[in-house]
């Protein structure tokens, strides 16, 4: 099948490459010539395990095209995936300018029936706006006779596991209308996704607005679990309980399960913060206040400071002369994504308090340098007090404390004897609860986790 992907960001690039790997001919459109040149050279602008190899393989097989040619992109695909960014506006609403611009280009150039798929995460009602824009452009051309259907097909990709998530989906949500164009679109989408349904049916068909709502509802639920566990973890520190044992006790209840019950430094990335805010804003537009989601956001904002509070409690708020090792910059492992990363909050607070930082991350250093330059645009000289080490152990040299922010596998089993010998003081402040408190104490470390009852010892 001929497929067009509009936008070669995270979602668009993964979607287009994986569909090409299934034998489709995929045209990926982006208006950034530099990005297109990079992709046509076989390189990718993001870090995602396994994706670069798939891009190179499908470029070589001529199933994958990267181009800035809008007209060619619209002409190519029977199915047009809109996978552009929907950043948050200042009021928390999703900015649809790129989605509607993509729709406008489709209407300007289409010459035959198209299935237009909203793959971007968009608020309820966006499909109606996309359809109105396309219809407007067709009427301007005097081509109102050309048919189309707008489908909602939200993505459920986890950064760091996106290729596997796409190729082995838990579910495929299709929101379609019940009219004739909608039925035709559903048949086309079922054909496109048939390879994923051979073992068992994964497709969930519903009306368009319910499909749009599903993505936000899913992310809001996961964010709620994270913030709830973080609040419990903070209480556990006060009462002397161990949140890890509590988590195991809770998770063994099949009504609850273990997923997204880990305490830590709060959620970040491109999805949860943006989607929680957008859903709350949608509710306000309809005259409803989502009190739980407002609390989820508030808890997460506070939780990003939990490591800073623990550092200040131990060392005071004047950190001049102190040196900290920081392990982990990306908001989660297996990605270089620094959007809303808790590390940015920790680094900002420590540098502004006078500390020096030696940071390590397996893949996110380049992106971290870029975003930190923006974060410290008002005080660029402070960035002279952070440097990026080539290994975790190099970062730990002469450190007054090790601060763990991201749970990369490379940090899970360090050589404790060597780590202790390198540090100025054997203090570990673990924002991801990678280690057992008693193991660290037996090894001679002063250890503080999140909700491990560690404030007692």
DSSP H helical ranges for 174-261: 180-192, 208-239, 243-251
Look-up of token digits 């929907």: 86
Total residue count of the chain as it appears in this document: 457
Q: Is 18 designated active site?
A: no
Catalytic residue among 26, 192, 208, 271: 271
DSSP reduced 3-state for 135: helix
- What span, in angstroms and rounded, lies between the C-alpha atoms of 348 and 406? 16
Distance CA 379, CA 429 (A): 27
**Please, what's the b/e burial string for 78-107 (b: 16 or more CB within 10 A of its CB; e: otherwise)?**
ebbbbbbbbebeeebbbebebbbebbebbb
Cβ-proximal residues to 193 (8 Å cutoff; 6+ apart), any chain: 172, 202, 203
Element (H, E) at 359: strand 356-360
Centre a 10 Å sphere on the Cβ of residue 384 and count the other Cβ atoms it contains.
9
**Phi, psi at residue 37, to the nearest 5°?**
-65, -40
The residues carrying an active-site annotation are 271
């Amino acid at each position: 099948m001929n497929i067009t992907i509009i936008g070669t960001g995270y979602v668009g690039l993964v979607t287009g490459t994986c569909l090409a790997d299934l034998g489709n001919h995929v045209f990926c459109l982006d208006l950034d010539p530099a990005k297109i040149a990079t992709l046509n050279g076989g390189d990718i602008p993001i870090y995602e395990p396994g994706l670069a190899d798939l891009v190179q393989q499908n470029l070589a097989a001529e199933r994958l095209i990267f181009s800035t040619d809008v007209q060619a992109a619209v002409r190519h695909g029977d199915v047009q995936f809109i996978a552009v960014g929907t950043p948050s506006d200042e009021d928390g609403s999703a900015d649809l300018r790129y989605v509607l611009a993509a729709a406008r280009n489709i209407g300007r150039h289409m010459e035959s029936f198209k299935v237009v798929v909203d793959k971007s995460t968009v608020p309820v009602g966006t499909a109606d706006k996309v359809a109105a824009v396309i219809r407007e452009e067709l009427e301007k051309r005097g081509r109102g006779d050309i048919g189309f259907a707008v489908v909602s097909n939200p993505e459920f990709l986890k950064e760091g596991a996106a290729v596997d998530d796409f190729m082995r989906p838990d579910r495929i949500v299709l929101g379609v209308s019940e009219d004739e164009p909608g039925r035709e679109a559903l048949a086309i989408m079922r054909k496109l996704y048939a390879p994923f349904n051979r073992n068992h049916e994964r497709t969930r068909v519903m009306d368009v607005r319910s499909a749009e709502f599903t993505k936000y509802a899913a992310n809001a639920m996961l964010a709620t679990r994270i913030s709830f566990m973080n609040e419990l973890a903070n209480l556990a520190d006060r009462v002397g309980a161990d949140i890890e044992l509590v988590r195991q006790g809770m998770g063994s209840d099949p009504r609850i399960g273990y997923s997204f019950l880990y305490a830590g430094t709060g959620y970040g990335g491109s999805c949860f913060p943006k989607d929680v805010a957008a859903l709350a804003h949608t509710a306000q537009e309809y005259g409803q206040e989502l009190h739980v989601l407002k609390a989820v956001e508030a808890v997460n904002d506070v939780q990003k400071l939990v490591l800073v509070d623990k550092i200040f409690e131990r060392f005071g708020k004047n950190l001049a002369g102190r040196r900290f090792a920081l392990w982990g910059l990306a908001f989660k492992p297996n990605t270089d994504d620094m959007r809303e990363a808790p590390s940015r909050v920790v680094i900002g607070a420590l540098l502004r308090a006078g500390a020096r930082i030696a940071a390590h991350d397996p893949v996110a250093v380049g992106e971290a340098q870029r975003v930190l330059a923006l974060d410290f645009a008002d005080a660029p000289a402070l960035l002279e007090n952070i440097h990026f080490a080539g290994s975790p152990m190099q970062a730990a040299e002469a450190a007054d404390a090790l601060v763990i922010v991201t749970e990369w596998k490379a940090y899970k089993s360090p050589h404790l004897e060597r780590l202790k010998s390198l540090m100025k003081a054997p203090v570990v402040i673990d924002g991801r609860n990678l280690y057992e408190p008693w193991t660290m104490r037996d090894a001679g470390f002063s250890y503080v986790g999140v909700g491990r009852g560690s404030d007692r010892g």
